[in-house]
Amino acid sequence: MIPQLPLALRWPRRQRFEHFHPGANAAALAAARMLAETPGAPWIYLHGPAGAGRSHLLLAACQAASAAGRRAQYLPLAAIADRAAAIRGVAGGELLALDDLGAIAGDRAAEHALFDLYNQTRAEGGALLFAADAPPAQLGLELPDLRSRLGACTQFALKPLDDAERREVLRAQAAARGIELDDAVLDWLFARYARDMGALLDLLDRLDQASLAAQRRVTVPFLREWLRGAGP
């Protein structure tokens, strides 16, 4: 069984289309938006390394579909123990987003469940949006018909943002919170912390609260002092 989470938890505010910095992924962003908002749009298979925005686009598509009055469900397969039961439990939505597809590779029951879900969703006029770290042929799926179905989707290879783009996103997100990040602060952060945007934005949320509480600007000395007391 998939727990029913409140909408605010299922569709996080940060993971919306308007907060996705496309970089080299503008075509994937446009296709995901069309799939979320337009019945009959081509199904999509996104693949790329961690930090490339796969989950962001899936959650954003679900949020946009819900806002358009469509039933949307998001399934993070890597976080679920009984994946076959979970896949069979999501049938019936107008948009179904399945993340971390590689987690079912070699799980015969789950692969067959996804094959059946694919056919059922197609027959019912719904839409499927997939994400994984590799293309269908490289996932290690044992069911040839499933590989064929997934390979028929429109595929996009997502690319992570480069350092200049990450800096631009972090600076813009900080400005939206009323925080000015100068080059020295950005250099310090990027030299010491993971460059995954999710981790950096989580850190920014905490910095925002800390700077407000201390009534101080975010500077390198403030960062050193805060992190000694709070930890990363």
Question: Are 98 and 145 found together in one domain?
Answer: yes
Question: Are 190 and 111 found together in one domain?
Answer: no
pLDDT in tens, 33-74: 999 999 999 999 999 998 889 999 999 999 999 999 999 999
Residue 221 resides in a domain: yes
Question: Are 176 and 192 found together in one domain?
Answer: yes
CA distance 137 to 151: 7
Q: Which amino acid is at 187?
A: D
Q: Answer with the residue of higher pLDDT: 229 or 156.
A: 156
Question: Are 145 and 171 found together in one domain?
Answer: no
Residue 60 resides in a domain: yes
Residue 1 resides in a domain: no
pLDDT in tens, 135-181: 999 999 999 999 999 999 999 999 988 888 888 888 988 898 888 88
Question: Are 43 and 138 found together in one domain?
Answer: yes
This prediction's pTM? 0.82
CB atoms within 10 A of CB 11: 21
Q: Give the pLDDT confidence score for residue 15 in this predicted structure.
A: 81
Q: Which of 102, 126, 157 is the last residue of a domain?
A: 157
Q: Give the pLDDT confidence score for residue 7 in this predicted structure.
A: 40
Q: Please give the biggest Cα pair distance in the chain.
A: 60
Residue 2 resides in a domain: no
Question: Are 149 and 167 found together in one domain?
Answer: no
Question: How many CA atoms lie within 13 Å of 205's alpha carbon, on the beta-carbon side?
Answer: 8
- DSSP state, 96? E
Average pLDDT, the chain: 88
Question: Are 90 and 185 found together in one domain?
Answer: no
Q: Give the pLDDT confidence score for residue 10 in this predicted structure.
A: 58
Domain that holds residue 55: 7-157
Question: Are 193 and 152 found together in one domain?
Answer: no
Q: Answer with the residue of higher pLDDT: 16 or 198.
A: 16
Q: Over range 22-28, report the average pLDDT.
A: 93
CATH value at residue 20? 3.40.50.300
Q: How many domains does the chain have?
A: 2
CA distance 193 to 140: 33
Structure tokens at 145: 């018909």
Question: Are 68 and 172 found together in one domain?
Answer: no
Q: Over range 88-111, report the average pLDDT.
A: 93
Q: Over range 206-221, report the average pLDDT.
A: 89
Question: Are 43 and 106 found together in one domain?
Answer: yes
Question: Are 119 and 207 found together in one domain?
Answer: no
Residue 127 resides in a domain: yes
Look at residues 95, 5, 83, 15 and name the one whose alpha carbon lies nearest to residue 54: 15
Q: Give the pLDDT confidence score for residue 129 in this predicted structure.
A: 98
Check pLDDT > 90 for residue 2: no
Check pLDDT > 80 for residue 4: no
Q: Give the pLDDT confidence score for residue 230 in this predicted structure.
A: 61
Question: Are 15 and 129 found together in one domain?
Answer: yes
Q: Give the pLDDT confidence score for residue 11 in this predicted structure.
A: 67
Q: Which of 138, 157, 176 is the last residue of a domain?
A: 157
CA distance 90 to 102: 18
Q: Which of 133, 157, 181 is the last residue of a domain?
A: 157
